């Protein structure tokens, strides 16, 4: 747990979840005890409990008093509702990202989905469109809006098969810490249907999201169309 920009409970949560997804811990296995996790990772008990509580809430483990944390088969559903992000939710090995529109600086839409600050309006946004594929199948058509504020060389970075949140964290020390979202069911238009390889009019979930970050006053916005014909959407936010 040596990345000081990320809360320790979040680091432990992501590590254990990755180990479950990769088969280090299999269904029915016991995770190390709270005391063992504290000792191995040099963490406090409340920090460990916070990580385990989140794993339990998302269906990865069952916590049994007197027995410990038992690994469940990890959910087939997709944890897009979590602030951890799509790459963290699905695992980098299962997820591919195609860039449909490269990052471009442009004005905000007049009818943007969330109110904007004066600084955001004056600075414009970095606009990008991505297609996220899970095990080769298109799952998310993702439109991103990032304020064009103190992000040097952002538009020149490589985003194919990379996590936007990890780039913000590692290159700009911007951590996603929370947010708000609106979720609607709507029929897929022709453009969305083409990208998601479904019929026009097929119901999709549309998520409009505003992420709060560790940089005061800096928010990341996205509009995501979800193909849920094979996967349900779950998670905490």
For 41-78, the pLDDT digits (tens) are: 999 999 999 999 988 887 889 999 888 999 986 555 55
Question: Is the domain of 59 the same as that of 159?
Answer: no
The tokens for 35 are 């005391």
Chain mean pLDDT for the chain: 87
CATH number at residue 131: 3.40.1410.10
Residue 118 pLDDT: 96
Question: Is the domain of 149 the same as that of 222?
Answer: yes
Question: Is the domain of 19 the same as that of 131?
Answer: no
CATH number at residue 43: 1.10.10.10
185-189's contacts with Cβ under 8 Å and 24+ in sequence apart are 188/225
Question: Is the domain of 35 the same as that of 131?
Answer: no
In 10 A of CB 151, how many CB atoms?
20
Domain that holds residue 35: 8-71
Question: Is the domain of 154 the same as that of 220?
Answer: yes
200-222: b (≥16 Cβ within 10 Å) or e: eeeebbbbbbbbbbebeebbbbb
Rounded mean pLDDT, 196-216:
94
Q: Is residue 53 part of a domain?
A: yes
Q: Is residue 190 part of a domain?
A: yes
Count of domains forming the chain: 2
Concatenate the DSSP letters of all residues of 28-45 into one string.
TPBPPPHHHHHHHHT--H
Question: Is the domain of 120 the same as that of 169?
Answer: yes
Last residue of a domain, one of 26, 46, 71: 71
Last residue of a domain, one of 71, 100, 120: 71
Q: Is residue 1 part of a domain?
A: no
- Which region, left, alpha or beta, applies to residue 191 given φ > 0 means left and ψ of -120 to 50 means alpha? alpha
- What is the rounded end-to-end Cα distance, in angstroms, of the chain? 23
pTM: 0.69
């Amino acid at each position: 747990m040596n990345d000081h920009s990320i809360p320790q409970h979040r680091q432990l949560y992501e590590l254990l979840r990755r180990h479950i997804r990769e088969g280090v811990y299999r269904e029915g296995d016991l995770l190390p005890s709270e005391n063992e996790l504290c000792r191995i990772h040099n963490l406090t008990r409340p920090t460990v409990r916070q990580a385990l509580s989140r794993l339990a809430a998302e269906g990865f483990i069952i916590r049994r008093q007197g027995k410990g944390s038992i690994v469940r088969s990890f959910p087939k559903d997709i944890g897009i509702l979590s602030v951890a992000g799509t790459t963290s939710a699905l695992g980098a090995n299962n997820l591919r990202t195609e860039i449909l529109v490269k990052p471009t600086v442009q004005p905000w839409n007049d009818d943007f989905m969330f109110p904007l600050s004066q600084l955001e309006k004056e600075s414009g946004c970095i606009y990008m469109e991505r297609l996220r594929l899970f095990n080769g199948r298109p799952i998310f058509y993702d439109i991103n809006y990032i304020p064009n504020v103190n992000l040097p060389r952002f538009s020149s970075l490589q985003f194919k098969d990379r996590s936007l949140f990890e780039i913000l964290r590692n290159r700009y020390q911007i951590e996603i810490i929370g947010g708000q979202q609106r979720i609607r069911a709507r029929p897929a238009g022709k453009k969305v249907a083409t990208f998601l390889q479904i019929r026009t009019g097929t119901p999709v979930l549309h998520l409009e999201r505003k992420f709060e970050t560790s940089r005061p006053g800096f928010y990341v916005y996205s509009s995501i169309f979800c193909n849920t014909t094979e996967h349900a959407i779950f998670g905490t936010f």
